[in-house]
Structure 1
Amino acid sequence: MKDHYNVLFLCTGNSARSIMAEAILNSKGGPQFTAYSAGSHPSGSVRPEAIAQLEAVHISTDGLRSKSWDEFTEPDSPKMDFVVTVCDNAAKEACPLFQIGGSTGGDAQAVTMIRAHWGVPDPPAVQGSPREIECAFREAYTILDRRIDLFLSLALNSLDRTALQKAVEQIGER
């Protein structure tokens, strides 16, 4: 029975959606989860609108930064239990082989890495008034928040790998 899971959220720029997902899960997941985020082609900065949205709902933004998924392929990087793409571009790209989560001691209940896609509209792509852009970031936050709540409600230690894979994938359809 695992008591801790690492989750990596991926998108192309790692400037908004994956950053918000990382912050939401770290805020809500307690000691059972550590969330990370990365991008295939990171922008190098976090969108101020994403920071503003997180701060508006009192979620810490300390330490959030745009980074490459290459950081998570190093031998000493955290082993991922879940990898979730949140943008269609990253979902279609060939992802690096991330380290598999679970114990190396032959623990039969160790969970191997689960991959899923939870597509979320890209708020930085919205062009319009400041209000329309703010609404786009709020909508992305709301979608991610709802999906993370569903993820946290899963009985992770009770589901076999196939059922868990299906359950995590289905979250992206909601």
Structure 2
Amino acid sequence: MSDRIYNVLFLCTGNSARSIMAEAILGVLGKGRFRAFSAGSHPSGQVQPMALELAQAIGYDTTLARSKSWDEFAVEGAPQMDIVITVCDNAAGEACPVWLGHPAQAHWGVPDPVEATGDEAARRHAFTAAFATLRRRVELLLSLPLEKLDRIAAQSQLQDIGKVDNE
């Protein structure tokens, strides 16, 4: 096993729920092997309270969680990303951000729980379902032997993970 720590950036449009939750999950489960970040192409400027609640429940320190632009990761001195994963939902017609550079890239589309309608129980269910899907996919990412894969092979395997539902 390698001592290398991989930087992973989760991107979404608003950086208010899915990308924040993915960052939290990988931040907790991948501790020591991965550094997780999140950002948005059009950040909403706020993190959804239910996303923070779910992140906190698994032991993530939410005091640093904030909705931010991907521009923060495109400047000199920013951490260099090894993996960039979009978590927006193409099926909903959302515009997913595109990342330039040479990291392995994958798309893990997840329906946006922020768009859920109905009472609080219905909204909570949408957040819990998105969180569970992201957790399952992060667990699969953690099982990959990244140190043995070149960028193209890693990208292919990461893409396959994005097709896995929580069911």
Give TM-score scaled by structure 1 length. 0.86
- 2:30 corresponds to 1:7: no
- In the superposition, relative to structure 1, how do residues 90 and 28 fare at CA in structure 2: closer, same or farther (>3 Å)? farther
Identical counterparts, % of pairs: 51
3-state DSSP of counterpart to 2:159: helix
Deviations 1:40-64 (A, max 9, x none): 0000010011111222333331200
Partner AA of 1:75 in structure 2: E
Q: How does 1:65-80 map to 2 (within 5 A)?
A: 65-80=66-81
- 2:87 corresponds to 1:97: no
Q: Which residue of 121, 134, 137 maps to 2:111?
A: 121
| Structure 1 position 161, deviation (Å) | 2.6
Instruction: Provide the rounded CA distance (Å) in 1 between the counterparts of 2:162 and 2:15.
Output: 18
| Structure 1 position 12, deviation (Å) | 0.4
Instruction: Provide the rounded CA distance (Å) in 2 between the counterparts of 1:29 and 1:43.
Output: 27
Instruction: Provide the rounded CA distance (Å) in 1 between the counterparts of 2:74 and 2:81.
Output: 10
- 2:140 corresponds to 1:137: no
Which residue of structure 2 aligns with residue 29 of structure 1? Answer: 30
Q: How does 1:41-60 map to 2 (within 5 A)?
A: 41-60=42-61
Deviations 1:134-160 (A, max 9, x none): 010000100000000000000001123
Residues 9 and 22, structure 1, Cα contact 8 Å, conserved in 2: yes
Q: Which residue of 139, 144, 166 maps to 1:154?
A: 144
The count of corresponding residues between Structure 1 and Structure 2 is 159
3-state DSSP of counterpart to 1:74: coil
| Structure 1 position 90, deviation (Å) | 4.4
- 2:164 corresponds to 1:163: no
Partner AA of 1:157 in structure 2: E
Larger radius of gyration: 1
Partner AA of 1:160 in structure 2: D
Q: CA RMSD in A?
A: 1.5
Instruction: Provide the rounded CA distance (Å) in 2 between the counterparts of 1:90 and 1:82.
Output: 20
Deviations 1:152-174 (A, max 9, x none): 00000112332211101100000
3-state DSSP of counterpart to 1:37: strand
Which residue of structure 2 aligns with residue 173 of structure 1? Answer: 163
Instruction: Provide the rounded CA distance (Å) in 1 between the counterparts of 2:155 and 2:99.
Output: 19
Residues 16 and 123, structure 1, Cα contact 8 Å, conserved in 2: yes
- In the superposition, relative to structure 1, how do residues 57 and 168 fare at CA in structure 2: closer, same or farther (>3 Å)? same
Which residue of structure 2 aligns with residue 38 of structure 1? Answer: 39
Instruction: Provide the rounded CA distance (Å) in 2 between the counterparts of 1:123 and 1:36.
Output: 20
Residues 28 and 60, structure 2, Cα contact 8 Å, conserved in 1: yes
